[in-house]
Chains A and B, each alone.
Chain A
């Protein structure tokens, strides 16, 4: 009976968790609620995934109203994968959150942080699970508003400014998206994805449709930090509390990428886009620009959180690159990189969060020799860094392998070269941190530090280990991604 309602439960559990957390005043109680909610969500997600794997696409009618009148939740392999990423990361971070949040956020605001954390997760899962364009907008706003608040809860005075900037930009993005959806509504008269796809297929292309696609692309592009719309991201990531940064970096952009894929493949239809729009070429150029420019910025960045944030912009470039190549292998690369990047960036940000917890700073100058005093933490960072570079045996290699193979399949040798060349830049920005952390002598302040507490270490180690595990045995992640990509190309929804 419950299993029938899993698609809606994965949204409702964190939503009600947020409500309960908001009613408490103590951080630890609030954390307990969030922990239970996140673990329950993860369990429900796993149940849902096994159902999808077993039975195929699941359609759930909210309130018993049949689509296209009612809102439909629709789960196939692609969004099952994305939901799995979000709920796994959200659950793995929870043990980390208590200690880190207690240090970084004043006592009477901690309950709010957990409220926002759960709201954000509810929103992100909602975007992924829904089969309705307007409902996706609502969840986009839910997750975004929660994110703004989460960033504003950061220690630094600039947190507020960063949150404000992100609020303005996020709102512009969401507005663009809803304008696009509105245009689609006027053309087709429906909001349900399946229904939209069916009607778009029989509607002759006109300018309104092109405009709708442009607005939706740019709107979502802003949410996923597509170069050059990424400028809000480094500050947002750098100023948010460590736990929040880890959650956002691992999940928020991924869900936006998913939404773009869903729009392109399942609503507009990739064949139509290839035939009538030059938008894929535009995305190709922008993603290559992101891979190089953002990586170069990361090389010179002195604040490690910002360094990783710029690296995220570059990594989003790889995801969009796979999308813009529009082949089954490339899309597999994109989807598997969603998962892989979540793991590596999660591990990297958690490790840096642990450094911030012990050292009180994440600037490179102050991290001299930190690897000697916090070997486990920085060891995890190195593993995550190797994944970012794409060293064989780590998850990063799997993603890049699919992308390179896809480039070869298309006969684009130059692109394969650029993928590898841009990975080499990652050697430099990761190498700078490694050099400072491991090969410099610790200064007086650093040498008095100790390894981070166990609750910070465990989630970091788990994610770093996953980076290696799924790098060696990619059958779960790559297998899911491949099946999902094939399904998306089959146009099944």
Chain B
């Protein structure tokens, strides 16, 4: 098996993605199923330590190296490529699937990269792949896709500057834990953090993700932010700034998710919220918390995909993604409803779903590090997440009857949701399977009496709050400001102001840049376009004239 492991698993998916456009639907379907399985097999057979090294321009690159952490992320990325690919089988736009596979393969490339140069190369490939996934959803997605690309290539430049400086100052290209003790390392950290969706550079996430297609967002939610979390775990464990960045993301994402009327936009804010937990855990930085970050990333990818797939199924069948226009769909989409509830329970860390064993680790990490404030905030946030999460199935599938009676989505989409649901429940009931993959071995047992009771209390309280406040929660759909006094108490006003401001600045910047680019292209076209001076066929005499001019110029310059 060692020889098999010589093939970088990421390359399998990238190659599969590049091959997809060449084939017809049947062969495509086969590739979509087989390629992630091959990648998964390669990931599982990856031994510890450098597997592949190559000498390139004087640098000893380690494109593939394995350890528990890499294998864990590699596993979930390969699983997601499979589930997402099956869910997207009905997607008519081949470009989306092809770029999604390149995107997934590059993400796997990052997690197995042993040096900073390889990390950077796959990092940029991811940016390209994900941009194409967004843009493939037609003209409406072009603008957001462009903004998405700009911010990610900016992040790439920052990262490259940091990496170049790091290599120049330390002389080492290895990707190892770093202290934040030099400008270059701060740049690297900043480059990584941009991809987690941390404010104030977050607008790319809620701006671009919901504009992707019903299947595209499933891929997008899985790879970019979680690869960033991986690089933080690998590169900056225990960097204290991350605790506060993470907490900010948690509450920022929470408040916005609560107020959002678009199902998928809400889930986009929820990604920021969830990734906040992971970033915070990396900042805490002890073994349990790092385990928790990895475990949370793992399960989050699956249940967030599950939620997005159920929202995507509704969008696919009805064309609607607004809470206000949905409701009562459980009558005709019972299976989708069940899947959505499983996802919502998992994200709320309900016992016997996958979120429970993962989030327990993070809070425990804070307790272990004696960070009381952090522990309280994290535990409170879990309750908040539950209120946000329960909103999704409630308003889509229950609540009022919208009169819509869409059928269940096609078989392939259902299968993908069932698979994700099974994983959510499976890891909840058998946390040992999850823990066995962790970077550091642990004998932690989340299912203790006290822990179960406190978690149920939290969820019960959340349920009561949810239904007690249902009236206000509904009112927020009308985007009226007068009755949202309740949330102002949580600093909503501040947050909204902040968001409006960054939103305006963002739009202004983007439109300015795009105007400038348009003017620039016009000018260039005037001279360089097919009819322009520089592209026309010149008369022979004119060519000869320029030859003489150049001769004269050379001579004059020589005599001056």
Interface residues of A (CB under 8 A from B): 164-165, 168-169, 172-173, 176, 207, 210-211, 213-215, 217-218, 221-222, 228-229, 231-232, 234-235, 277-279, 281-282, 293-294, 296-297, 299-302, 310, 371-372, 375, 392, 401, 438-439, 472
Contact = CB atoms under 8 A, between A and B. Distances in A.
Given A231-B537, A401-B57, 12 more contacts: A168-B544, A172-B547, A207-B559, A218-B554, A229-B543, A282-B557, A296-B528, A297-B528, A300-B524, A300-B525, A438-B21, A472-B56
Given A176-B547, A214-B551, A300-B529, A279 B95 contact: no
B486 interface: no
A301 B530 contact: yes
Contacts, number: 93
Contacts of A294: 534
A228 B550 contact: yes
Nearest to B132: A439
B528 A229 contact: no
A169 B525 CA distance: 27
Contacts of A214: 551, 554-555, 558
Q: Which of B95, B543, B560 has the most C-beta atoms of chain A within 10 angstroms of its own C-beta?
A: B543
Contact of B551 (A215, A281, A297, A310): A215
Given A302-B530, A438-B21, A297 B547 contact: no
A73 to B, nearest CB: 30
Contacts of B529: 300
Contact of A168 (B95, B527, B530, B540): B540
Contacts of B56: 472
B535 interface: yes
Nearest to B536: A231
A372 to B, nearest CB: 7
A439 B136 CA distance: 10
B522 to A, nearest CB: 11
B524 to A, nearest CB: 5
B558 A293 contact: no
Q: Which of B532, B557, B559 has the most C-beta atoms of chain A within 10 angstroms of its own C-beta?
A: B557
Interface residues of B, number: 32
Interface in B82-112: 95
A425 B17 CA distance: 25
A168 B524 CA distance: 30
A351 B555 CA distance: 42
A229 B525 CA distance: 21
Contacts of B559: 207, 210
Interface string B505-535: 0000000000000000000110111101011
A169 B547 contact: yes
21 contacts: A169-B547, A172-B547, A173-B547, A210-B555, A214-B554, A217-B554, A218-B547, A218-B550, A221-B550, A222-B547, A228-B546, A231-B543, A277-B558, A279-B554, A297-B534, A299-B528, A301-B535, A372-B21, A375-B22, A439-B21, A439-B95
Nearest to B93: A439
Nearest to B541: A168
Nearest to A295: B528
A165 B422 CA distance: 73
Contacts of B560: 278
B38 interface: no
A297 B531 CA distance: 10
B267 to A, nearest CB: 29
B550 A169 contact: no
B31 interface: no
Nearest to A299: B528
B182 to A, nearest CB: 20
A160 B141 CA distance: 48
Contacts of A176: 547, 551
A278 B559 CA distance: 9
B555 A211 contact: yes
Contacts of B500: none
A172 B544 contact: yes
Contacts of B554: 214, 217-218, 279, 282
Nearest to B524: A296
A357 to B, nearest CB: 21
Contacts of B524: 296, 299-300
A282 B550 CA distance: 10
Contacts of B121: 392
A214 B543 CA distance: 18
Contacts of B528: 293, 296-297, 299-300
Nearest to B525: A300
A281 B557 CA distance: 10
Contacts of B538: 231
A274 B528 CA distance: 34
B550 A293 contact: no
Contacts of A302: 530
B551 A300 contact: no
B95 A232 contact: no
